[in-house]
Structure 1
Amino acid sequence: MLNIVTSDGQRLALERDVAEQAGLLRDFAQNQTDEDVPVPTITSGIFRKILDYFEHYGNEPVDAGTRRRDQQWEREYLAIDHGTLFNIITAANYLGAKPLLSMCTQEVADRIVGKTPQEIRQMFNIQNNSSPGQPTECPTECPTECPAECPTPDK
């Protein structure tokens, strides 16, 4: 067993075979340490959500690019607010849980596809940082050779 200590001081016991799914935890498990494993950037609520993923998939070998192995379960797992999703992404990155990270970042991409920049800003509570006089919205279509008033990535 690994004893995980979360940022909010909760101690959670984790089976060593479950720890194999995350690079950071795998390293601790392989070192056979009996010491507490601190995860100072992860709350107990987020860590439990990550454990749900680990326990669901077990030690099933997975390529980080694999998506939708259990579509119904993943759909239910990802039916969460944006803040929780981003906290899981940050935690999965910290832990080195590549399949979970891949699944969650794909979910972010799925949520923004087809949205306008304004809708994306609203969805993620991003303030508009445009300079005065700079267009805040791009036209939906620019001619092949854009005029000066049509912003392009290289201008």
Structure 2
Amino acid sequence: MDLCAKLLARDDVRGIKARAIGLQFFGGYLKLTNARKRTMTTDEPSSSISQELITVVSSDGKDFELTVELAQQSETLAKLIANFDYHLKDVKKEPIPLGNIASAQMEKVCVWLKHHQNKKWTPPGKSDVPSYSFDKWTNAYLTIPNSELFELMSAANYLNIQHLYETLCRRIASKIAGKTSSEMRQALNLKSDEEIKAAEIDEEEEEEKEEDDESSSEDQEMSDISLSPEPPIND
């Protein structure tokens, strides 16, 4: 863990994924391990209200219908439901926009919420040793490319679904546990320093080429104008 933290804290590791892990995984996991014990849901809705439907809209415009019971596993949605009275039958239920979550991630989130709707979750205590083993269903759920894991982690963090977020943190930790810095980069698809510098050089050269092409085009246009014969003057 110390080696990984040092790797991700280095100034020369500038990849987006490295920043995401540094900010979300290590900080978020420590926050979770020190959290007070609580259940998966916040305020328990009554049985009649819990089956009321709300609609959320992903960033790419897809609608998702959730019962209040499912939605309250997300602390973000639970607060919206409470603050805007979405749980009341006589309230017009406007769709809730989720501008930071695409439909692909929201579909995965809904699958998770439905699977865990009748389960209780307690965050790990300070002395608990993180477990990298998962049950069959969870292991299958988490068997996705690293890029999708990071996107799903971002969605879980935005919606404040702590049991999903903590599980994703443990999944990523399991991929880098006991590895060298080079092996960590390979496991998480992070670029090396040389690859980052090469990409920056290529980008600079491409920008310079575009500027040169634009300048050459403008010079050619000016040259064509100056060489154009003047129209005859009629007496």
TM category (shorter chain) comes to 0.7 to 0.9
From 95, 103, 117, the counterpart of 2:159: 95
TM-score (norm 1): 0.76
Q: How many Å separate the matches in 2 of 1:7 and 1:14?
A: 17
Q: Does 1:27 align with 2:63?
A: no
Gaps of 5+ in 1: 131-155
4+ residue runs over 4 A deviation: 66-70
Alpha-carbon shift at residue 123 of structure 1 (Å): 2.4
1:1-155 paired onto structure 2 within 5 Å: 1-30=53-82, 31-33=84-86, 34-65=93-124, 71-129=135-193
Which of 1 and 2 has higher RCO (CA within 8 Å, sep 6+)?
Answer: 2
Q: How many Å separate the matches in 1 of 2:132 and 2:186?
A: 27
Which is higher, the Rg of structure 1 or of structure 2?
A: 2
Structure 1 residues 14 and 22: CA distance shift in structure 2, 3 A: same
Instruction: Name the stretch that deviates more: 71-80 or 32-41.
Output: 32-41
Amino acid corresponding to residue 47 of structure 1 in structure 2: M
Q: How many residues align?
A: 130
Q: Secondary structure at the match of 2:147?
A: helix
Alpha-carbon shift at residue 76 of structure 1 (Å): 0.7
Q: How many Å separate the matches in 2 of 1:27 and 1:99?
A: 17
CA contact (8 A) 1:4 1:36 kept: yes
Q: How many Å separate the matches in 1 of 2:112 and 2:76?
A: 16
Q: Deviations over 1:69-119 (max 9, x none)?
A: 971111111111101111111110100100100000000001111222112
Q: How many Å separate the matches in 2 of 1:94 and 1:88?
A: 10
CA contact (8 A) 1:18 1:59 kept: no
Alpha-carbon shift at residue 55 of structure 1 (Å): 0.3
TM-score (norm 2): 0.51
